[in-house]
Amino acid sequence: MKTRGAIVRKLNSEYEIVEMDLDEPRTGEITVQMVASGLCLSDEHVASGDFPARLPICGGHEGAGIVVAVGPNTSGWEVGDHAVLSCLPGCGRCRYCATGHQNLCEMTDNILVGSRPEEPDSFRLSYQGEKVGQFCHIGTFCEYSTVSVLSAVKLPKEMPLDKACLIGCGVSTGWGATVYSAETKPGDTVIVMGCGGVGNFAIQGAAHAGALNIIAVDPLESKRDFAMRVGATHGCASIEEASELAKELTDGHGADANAITLGTLKPEHMLQALESVGKNGVVVVTALGNATDIDFKLSLFDLTLKQKRIQGSMYGAVSPSWDMLKLVNMYNGGRLKLDGVISQTYKLDEINQGYADLRSGSNVRGVILFD
């Protein structure tokens, strides 16, 4: 079938909207008509070349839609089912899936190639005869996408798809950063650096886990105001200010955790975050740095004597096939706030405007709504 989608054909460029050929689903696959796809910064990293993706590639890794075709002998799915696509697949059988770390599934190794998770040389999209990858195996900036069932989670029909799409990346990454990776406990003091489409879910996670003080750090007042509406107890324009405040609130000890949820991680952020946490404190890193950045400063003295931890956090350390449903149930139960997070919606053809708005800071989260 034919489908329109947004692809990157050369580095340091913008998304181009083109008409492509999409294969029918094979065994273990479904074709999804996309209803909504979030504009996450990671797709911008693909266009800029920060992520060394195989080109051409169809962007988008935060989508939800309706199943329009099911591959032969593919159990558990029917035409008409609603699905949220996970930015990482989970096979359920590898050592990571089997030990509760589905976010590290062995099938995630070629997300920048965008071929099938199970078959690295097999593609489902093509443009003028050339194979096109699907970023994170799902390429949701596309009217239709054929995906592995390992990348899809069935949704209850009452879950609105234009909100559900966010659970495929930003919600899970942020919420899991404070709940799972930081292991926030009741009474804790948590700093969240960066209050965009990931940070405000880190704030909600900290609140759900019982943090007493949640300090939102963002230079933009509008983002700090929004953070306060979703559970932050304090807002600071700089990490230095947040660090001082954390000490004031804890009799001089410092924060229990600092979740770095910035768009782009720089080496200096690591030192700032490590200085903001107290004894036994943890710095959780969800933000992505440049692949060539290998140097950052830290006090080795402090690290040992104060027993501090640095914890990388991939996709919030969630296991998508259960955690995404849990987050959907929390939304439907009124506990997770998604509605106000979508600050702007766009048509597929307006995707580059959406990214310009994200860069300028006028978006918490932009979402493409398909016709």
Applying CB under 5 A, the span of 27-35, 96-104, 282-290, 291-299 interacting with Zn ion comes to 96-104
If the CB atoms of residues 40 and 232 are measured against Zn ion, the closer one turns out to be 40
Compute the chain's Rg from CA coordinates.
Answer: 20
Shortest Cβ distance from residue 146 to Zn ion (Å)?
A: 21
Q: Is the dihedral of CA 318, 27, 158, 59 positive or negative?
A: positive
Total interface residues for Zn ion by CB under 5 A: 7
Residue 40 binds to Zn ion (criterion: CB under 5 A): yes
Among 17, 68, 91, 356, binds Zn ion (CB under 5 A): 91
Shortest Cβ distance from residue 320 to Zn ion (Å)?
A: 11
Angle CA 70–73–74, to nearest 5: 50
- Long-range CB contacts for residues 337-342, cutoff 8 Å, separation at least 24: 337/204, 337/229, 337/230, 338/163, 338/166, 338/171, 339/163, 340/226, 340/229, 340/230, 340/364, 341/166, 341/197, 341/200, 341/230, 341/365, 342/162, 342/163, 342/166, 342/366, 342/367
If the CB atoms of residues 57 and 277 are measured against Zn ion, the closer one turns out to be 57
Residue 169 binds to Zn ion (criterion: CB under 5 A): yes
If the CB atoms of residues 169 and 348 are measured against Zn ion, the closer one turns out to be 169
Applying CB under 5 A, the span of 84-92, 140-148, 219-227, 270-278 interacting with Zn ion comes to 84-92
Shortest Cβ distance from residue 98 to Zn ion (Å)?
A: 8
Shortest Cβ distance from residue 213 to Zn ion (Å)?
A: 28
* Site for Zn ion, residues 184 to 213, rule: CB under 5 A: none
Residue 105 binds to Zn ion (criterion: CB under 5 A): yes
If the CB atoms of residues 105 and 242 are measured against Zn ion, the closer one turns out to be 105
Residue in 345, 275, 341, 350 with CA at minimum distance from that of residue 308: 275
Residue with tokens 């692809």: 7
Question: Could you tell me which residues come within 8 angstroms of residue 323 by beta carbon, excluding any fewer than 6 positions away?
Answer: 172, 176, 316
If the CB atoms of residues 14 and 106 are measured against Zn ion, the closer one turns out to be 106
What the block records as the tokens of 269 is: 């952020």
Residue 97 binds to Zn ion (criterion: CB under 5 A): yes
Shortest Cβ distance from residue 104 to Zn ion (Å)?
A: 8
Residue 314 binds to Zn ion (criterion: CB under 5 A): no
Which residues contact Zn ion by CB under 5 A? 40, 42, 91, 94, 97, 105, 169
